Amino acid sequence: LSLTLLSSANGWNNRVKAIQLVASLRGSVTDVLQGISSDKLTDLTTIENALEARFGDSHLTQFYRTELKTRRQKPGESLQVLAVDVERLMSLAYAECPQDVRDSLAAQYFVDAIRDEDTQHATRLMDAKDLKSALAYSMKYEAAKTVSKTSRNVRSIEIEDGTGKEKDEKFDCLLETLESY
């Protein structure tokens, strides 16, 4: 970025940019130049490619994409933690993609990673356009599912032991006595 700004401000061509870049390298970074022939030290693309190959992480892009494809929610892992990890992997695997494409892919990878099949299916049907929407919906779905489970386990019970009728008669008697005063 600094090199781009400097070259723009000074009107440098790519040859001058390459010379300035080589001259600005320090320490062990200069080891990268050892593998470049002297006639190529003024070729900006050659220098940029050598630096990218040595210090960039573009070679890890496929690794991060594979990690995204195989990512599954771990037992006990919340949907929020899963979403944060999907977002992290997305920024590493698809850094060069436009934001709208990344949003859509993140939602798909998130849904694929959800452990609970019912939640996954419901969230997939929702057809979320981004990770935030998919996360919000899946959390609502899981909360509703939890509430439904607990309400199904509650049963009403009736006690029939005959004492209720006796108590009603005693109450009616007391009520009549109070009303007569």
Give the domains, in start order, of the chain with CATH numbers.
3-55 (no CATH), 58-150 (1.10.1200)
Tell me what pLDDT residue 160 has. Answer: 60
Tell me what pLDDT residue 75 has. Answer: 95
d(CA 1, CA 14): 14
| Cα-Cα end-to-end distance for the chain | 96
d(CA 131, CA 114): 12
What is the residue type of 146?
T
Mean pLDDT, the chain cut into blocks of 10 residues (181 residues total): 82 90 87 88 89 77 92 96 96 90 96 97 95 97 87 60 65 76 67
Tell me what pLDDT residue 95 has. Answer: 86
CB atoms within 10 A of CB 140: 13
**Residue whose structure tokens are 């790519």:** 14
d(CA 16, CA 100): 37
Kindly report whether the global pTM for this prediction surpasses the value 0.95: no
Question: What Cα–Cα distance (Å) separates residue 75 from each residue in 72, 115, 123, 137, 140?
Answer: 9, 8, 19, 20, 19
d(CA 159, CA 148): 26
